[in-house]
Amino acid sequence: MCVVHKKDNGFEGNIYFFTESATFIKNQAFGGEGNMLKQEYVSLENIDLKAEEWLKNVKVYSKADRFSFSPESSALLILDMQKFFLDETSHAFVPSSKAIIPNIRKILDAYRKSNYPVIFTMHALKKDERPGIMGEWWKDVLKENNRYSKIADELKPLKDEKIIKKNRYSAFYKTELKDFLMNENVKSVVVTGVMTNLCCETTARDAFMNDFFVYFVVDATAALNEELHLSSLKTLSHGFAVPLLTVDVIKRFKQCTMLL
């Protein structure tokens, strides 16, 4: 057995074992839990139906009746919609991520049209930046110079839109996100992106702990499988965020436009 520290093409894996199990170890990378945990649980064809089912599942926990969404003083967070998670050739590919792109795009267009804040996050490390325990946990590091670190072309940020570079699950951890939101007088955030149970959930929790109202779009977020997705929706609905559908967000934008 040969054990080495390997760096290749912008990825950095702490320990790789060159045996017949090497593929398995690589599949344990960030988002790459191995094929048995990956599931295309939602598609463009069934996402509307599945989203309604999820809302029914979390209804007992939801506080949507107390905290209705309003676009005013809100900001859109688009978390880690990078090729690392969206490209089928990436070992960290999230199979259901393709299905949420059109919904994120609809919400993004509404925010842009209304000139409300939009924030993208990009999970990638600088050349000499250390990943901390996440590197040990996933045996995988995505560097800024890797082509997979780029945000998906379908959601490409405009020149004046904020991009937060992060190296942990939370978009608030040692970043300028909180200060940016406060400077923009933001009171609530709308969470979209990947993965539901990791960066999306952690960011939603931190937003709540920093006194922002959190609205979590159930059909504009995706995890590796439906069990992880739904478990996060239940937890967040119980203690941190109001679950919403994309159509609910768009509807509120239209209602606010009519009132102007």
pTM of the model: 0.88
What's residue 257's pLDDT? 74
Tally of structural domains, the chain: 1
**What tens digit of pLDDT does each residue of 30-49 get?**
655 556 689 999 999 999 99
pLDDT band at residue 107 using 50, 70 and 90 as cut-offs? very high
CA distance 71 to 103: 16
Mean pLDDT of the chain: 89
Residue 197 CB-density burial (10 A; 0-12 exposed, 13-18 middle, 19+ buried) = buried
CA distance 218 to 110: 17
β-pair partners for 164 = 121
Kindly report the CATH number assigned to the domain that includes residue 107. 3.40.50.850
Q: Where are the alpha helices (DSSP H) in 27-90?
A: 47-58, 83-86
**Which pair of tokens denotes residue 169?**
């699950």
What's residue 163's pLDDT? 98
Query: Identity (one letter) of the amino acid at 59?
Result: K
Domain containing 197: what range?
3-259
**What tens digit of pLDDT does each residue of 202-252 get?**
999 999 999 999 999 999 999 999 999 999 999 999 999 999 999 999 999
Task: Indicate whether 5 pLDDT > 90.
Answer: no
Is residue 179 within 8 Å of residue 212, measured between CB atoms?
A: no
**What tens digit of pLDDT does each residue of 240-253 get?**
999 999 999 999 99
